[in-house]
Every structure is written in C-alpha cells, then in structure tokens.
Amino acid sequence: MNNTASTIAVSPPNSPGITLTLESTGVFLGILVSVSALAGVAIRIISKMNSISASISQIELALKEQANNAEKIRDLDKRFDLHIQEYVNRKDVVQMVMGQLDQKINHKFKRLLFYTRDIQRFLQRDTTFNIREYEENTQEE
C-alpha cells in the first residue's frame, strides 16, 4: 500500500541572510543607476563650480593688474600735467624776454634815428650837405 502523505509548503525557519528575488535585484539595480546618475550630475556641478571659481580668480587678478595700471596712468598723467605747466611757464618767460628785447631794440633804433636826424639838421643848417630822401615806416615819439 501506498502511503500518501500530503505536505503543505512551509517556509523554512528564518535563516540569517538575505534572500534575493528578482524584484529586490531590480530595486537594487535601480538604486545603483540613480546613485550613479546623481553622482554624474554632482560631478558636473562641481566641475562647473570649479570652472567658475577659476574664472573669478582670473578676473580678480585682471582687476588687480588693471588697478595697478590705472595707478600708473594716474601718476603719468600727473607728471604729464607738470611737464605741460613747466612748458607753459617757459613759453611765457621766453615770450616776455623776447618782448623786452623787441622793446629795447625799438628804443635803441628810435634813439639812433633821432640822433641821425639831429646830425642831418646840423649838417643842412651849417654846411652844404644835401640829404637824400627815403621813406620811413617808423613813428616819432
């Protein structure tokens, strides 16, 4: 005789370990893909931040150099202004000296002209000296 016994599926007693099923493997792989995607995005963000930081550093250096150049330009501008003022002062002095020389020459010329006229008058009055006529452009004082 055949002994038939019916058995009901019973889960084995709780064993220490992880039971992998298709669903848990899918969830685990989904988590890994999401984490790797997030890591990629984080790496891109960090690289962009580093690029921006490097650009800011370059801009800061350029601004410092520009400030130094601006200070040099300001110094050169002040020196240039001093040279211009010195030139104007020298030009004024030279013009003043030239004017004084011109006045002295005119004064001496007029005195010489008056002395010459006095001599001409004396010679005409006391001798038979004949004076040639010429055109004058000077004015008597």
Residue ranges covered by each domain of the chain = 23-100
Q: CB neighbours of 140 closer than 8 A, spacing ≥ 6?
A: 110, 114
Q: For tokens 């493997």, what's the residue?
A: 25
Q: pLDDT value at position 22?
A: 85
Helices first, then strands: H and E counts in the chain: 1, 0
The mean pLDDT of the chain is 85
Decide which of 35 and 23 is more confident: 35
Residue 18 in this model has a pLDDT that exceeds 90: no
Residue 121 in this model has a pLDDT that exceeds 80: yes
107 CB-side CA count, 13 A: 6
Instruction: Tell the burial category of 110 from Cβ atoms under 10 Å away from its Cβ (0-12, 13-18, 19+).
Output: middle
Give tens-digit pLDDT for 49-93. Answer: 999 999 999 999 999 999 999 999 999 999 999 999 999 999 999
Torsional sign, CA 130, 132, 135, 141? negative
Q: What angle do CA 110, 113, 119 make, to 5 degrees?
A: 145
- Residue 116 — φ and ψ, nearest 5°? -65, -40
